[in-house]
Amino acid sequence: MKTKALLLFLSIIILSCSKTKKESSTLEIITLKEGWKFQKGSFPDAVSVDFDDANWETITVPHDWAIYGPFDKEIDKQVVAITQNGEEVATEKTGRTGALPYIGEAWYRNTFDVPNYDKSKKVLILFEGAMSEPEVFVNGKKVGEWKYGYAYFYFDISEHVQSTNNSLSVKLNNKGKSSRWYPGAGLYRNVRVILKNQESIDQWGTFITTPNINEEVAQVNVKTNVTGDNLKLVTTIFDAEGNEVVSNETTTRFGNQFEQNIAVKNPKLWDTENPYLYKAISKLYVGNTLKDEVTTKFGIRDINYDRNTGFSLNGKPTKFKGVCLHHDLGPLGTAVNTSALRRQLEILKDMGANAIRSSHNMPSFEQLELCDEMGFLFLAESFDEWKKPKVENGYNLYFDDYAEKDVVNLVRATRNHPSIVMWSSGNEVPDQWGSEGVKRAKWLQDIFHREDPTRPVTVGMDQVKAVMESGFGAIMDIPGLNYRVHLYEEAYERFPQGFILGSETASTVSSRGIYHFPVEKGSMVQHDDYQSSSYDLEYCSWSNLPEDDFILQDDKPWVLGEFVWTGFDYLGEPTPYDEVWPSRSSYFGINDLAGLPKDRYYLYRSRWNTKDETLHILPHWNWEGREGVTTPVFVYTNYNSAELFLNGKSLGIQTKNNSSPQHRYRLMWMDVKYEPGTLKVVALDDNGNPTAEKEIKTSGKPHQLILEPNTTPIKANGEDLAFVTVSVVDENGIPCPTATNQLKFEVTGNGRYRAACNGNATSLEQFHLPTMKLFSGKLVVLVQSTKEAGDITLTVSGEGLESSSVQLKSIL
């Protein structure tokens, strides 16, 4: 199947300020960030223009009301058998949805002006994410409602607005038993008011593809849906430096659509290493009068899925080295934040990842824009549930009425992103069983094809035997297998497509810096401390270890690649401790909830990052009381051999080999007897010569704090974040990997304390309070800018420790 390139959405460029305006003679966009009033509870009179909300909380949007806690095991406690995990007996699940108070009704109110409004104008209100079941009222009148909390949607409110002092009320309602993970709550993505002429380009009405590309020229196909008569469209393409490349004018329309084919000479292609972006400015005229102007970023690139070469990007065979990501941002909850998303992607880029799967929901516009800029391939997912329920109050309630509308909005809003190379219509849906599920899968896939003929569609299938028998797997463009590594060969033989995608892989579990003995493989292992061992040998009843997937990627050319569950820990689903309190967040992440790499990060980096050296030792070397006891040492490295030394004495050379999946990808010294001191590994090149080394040491008592910001300066926009990693060292500067000191945080100057996170899945400390315990010697503090440029100081103190400060700066 040949699938051609396309590229970026945002048909409007939006400035990121409070109640931001972008004004021209043709278009005004108001981003409603500040001035919101919020209250949880039932307030039916809040639709009224005159409703008194003076005592309500004043907040900014994006906003997640539930992330502030407190954690409580009784919140959405579900007694359920998780059938997709193979459970047959219902048990009590605490923390399944994060144990945060997301359930219930809540209201948001704001006012806005539309200064250039008159009856000849069109006004839309756009919601990029509202959790959930939003009902929207303007000037006391209901203008519309939606259901799906992950959907983007808009309403035409032209008949309900006036030039000044428009009242906006939004009612949200989150049901219990509506999710399998922490869904968040509130207006967690942006809300925008859009003013335009009646003669205009339709919302999400631009669709750019690049169906033919060679070194000399690229065909850029621009389809533009419009409203109005006697129209002329002029589309001008600019390169990344802002230079005009080519322009095209047309008055020929087919129905409500213009179609232009524009030749771009000597095109620069978008790929994961050089994500080059062009810009198309579409201007709509009546006569010589400009009526609308839309800017669309896009990339010129070609994608192809073939039974012989697998997935190719611009003619180059490429494996997906991907991770799955839930939509929450750890201590920020689900409130979208560009700097937090950028940090995630920077961490994954260093690991060597090249792909993201939005699981199991529609991605934010900000995430897609960053993936375009940074060079990530993207699998954009829609649903976790179709008609048959996984949870009582899930999407099954809305499927019949909303599934097509939600898919249409997903595709039209995001289809111009070059990063998106595949759609997913569902994840592990119970509809995999039976003929009705096959019909639903075909129906949904046809909607995706109608809206976007250029990209294939997949489903994350975990009932592999069932989809072999029913034909469900055979009709999919891309057969995606979730786990079930033992069935890959059979699926490849049975399915007609000629390839398999690891749409969800591994689900290995670990806790950063925690190691359990004896060191052995185990499924659904539980320990007294409610942590999973960071030796990376523990997994779930349905899942496996990373090496099982590595072997398939390396040895089977028909495997397109993988999307690991998950890139980062997330709130909710604390398997294998989902029946144990106080576990309230996942253990699956390659990085923890604070964004700190676990040991497993370096295992993936050693295989995926082919440019940089990886040499990582585990466990830590502070084991008082284990003197003389066997304490295995693993090394994750891109070198094939290494020699290990303990206090200067060689413990031998290990070389990767095929004696077991673990030996193929790890270096392991299983018989090391612990003694305090220095553990050093020396990597050897293919000729046996030393080429790199790394050492870790036994530390003394915690003495001093070290503060390391991920970036400075930050933008003085009231939203930008610095993530400061806080760690503790002894008096000789050696890290203390077992420290659990309680710390306090203070921010002064032109910034504010936003949150902290230590990555401990059992911690019940609230993120927004300025105190938290270290976990495995580290935590992360989030410092947020104000709108005033200047200096910011973060000071961290702890009992028995020297306090430490770091200077940050914010700039306009």
CA dist 295 and 206 (Å) reads 9
**Could you give the angle at the alpha carbon of 353 between the alpha carbons of 350 and 355, nearest 5°?**
140
CA dist 168 and 158 (Å) reads 14
Which positions ≥6 away from 140 have C-beta within 8 Å? 47, 48, 49, 167
Asked whether the beta carbons of 460 and 528 are under 8 A apart, the reply is: no
Which of 128, 428, 573, 643 is catalytic? The answer is 428
Give the largest Cα separation in the chain, rounded. Answer: 88
The span from the first CA to the last CA of the chain, in angstroms, equals 48
**93: how many CB neighbours lie within 10 A of its CB?**
23
Asked whether the beta carbons of 754 and 721 are under 8 A apart, the reply is: yes
Q: In terms of DSSP H, where are the helices of 272-417? A: 338-351, 365-374, 399-414
CA dist 575 and 508 (Å) reads 10
**691: how many CB neighbours lie within 10 A of its CB?**
16
Phi and psi torsions of 485, nearest 5°: -60, -30
What is the chain's length? 812
The SS3 call for residue 322 is strand
Q: Which of 307, 65, 321 is nearest to 174 (CA)?
A: 65
Cis peptide before 331 (omega within 30 of 0): no
Helix or strand (DSSP H, E) at 629: none
Q: Which of 551, 718, 755, 792 is nearest to 67 (CA)?
A: 755
Which of 369, 451, 504, 538 is catalytic? The answer is 504
For residue 773, give Cα distances in angstroms to 104, 723, 742, 764, 803. Answer: 31, 17, 4, 11, 15
CA dist 153 and 409 (Å) reads 7
The residue to which tokens 């060679």 are assigned? 214
Residues of 141-176 as b/e, b for ≥16 C-beta within 10 angstroms? eebbebbbbbbbbbbebbebbeeeebbbbbbbbbbb
Asked whether the beta carbons of 138 and 160 are under 8 A apart, the reply is: yes
Q: Which of 542, 547, 596 is nearest to 569 (CA)?
A: 596
637: left (phi over 0), alpha (psi -120 to 50) or beta: beta
Asked whether the beta carbons of 98 and 571 are under 8 A apart, the reply is: yes
Q: Is 547 a catalytic residue?
A: no
CA dist 211 and 454 (Å) reads 9
Q: Is 746 a catalytic residue?
A: no
**362: how many CB neighbours lie within 10 A of its CB?**
24
The residue to which tokens 């937090």 are assigned? 340
356: left (phi over 0), alpha (psi -120 to 50) or beta: beta
CA 626 from centre of chain? 40
Catalytic residues: 428, 504
